[in-house]
Amino acid sequence: MFADQLAVAIDGARAPAALDDLSRAIWRGLTAGSLNDEEAQRLAECIHTRRMVAKGDRKAASGYPRPAGPLPTPEITTAT
């Protein structure tokens, strides 16, 4: 249940300071036994992804790298 509450808080966090506080809460929860290793790792990864999205790193959100520039326009040739 604590893991679910943290996940909701992470999803709603917008400020870097809020993510810092949630990160500390994760590791305190792990130490106190309120979270297991897998839950703590999953939540830490959610925070990392949230930070990358906030920075504009679309790779974190999509899993694919951001294009370096505009996509090339395909050449259209016509048969004569």
- Position 1 scores a pLDDT of 78
Backbone angles phi, psi at 13, to 5 degrees: -70, 135
In this structure, what token pair is assigned to residue 66? 């951001």
Q: Please give the Cα distance from 39 to 17 (Å, whole number).
A: 21
Q: Please give the Cα distance from 35 to 29 (Å, whole number).
A: 5
Q: Please give the Cα distance from 26 to 45 (Å, whole number).
A: 11
Radius of gyration (C-alpha) of the chain in whole angstroms: 20
What pLDDT digit, counting tens, does each position of 63-75 carry? 555 555 555 555 6
Regarding pTM above 0.75, the answer is: no
Cα 59 versus chain centre, distance = 10
- Position 5 scores a pLDDT of 94
What pLDDT digit, counting tens, does each position of 12-54 carry? 998 899 999 999 999 999 999 999 999 999 999 999 999 988 7
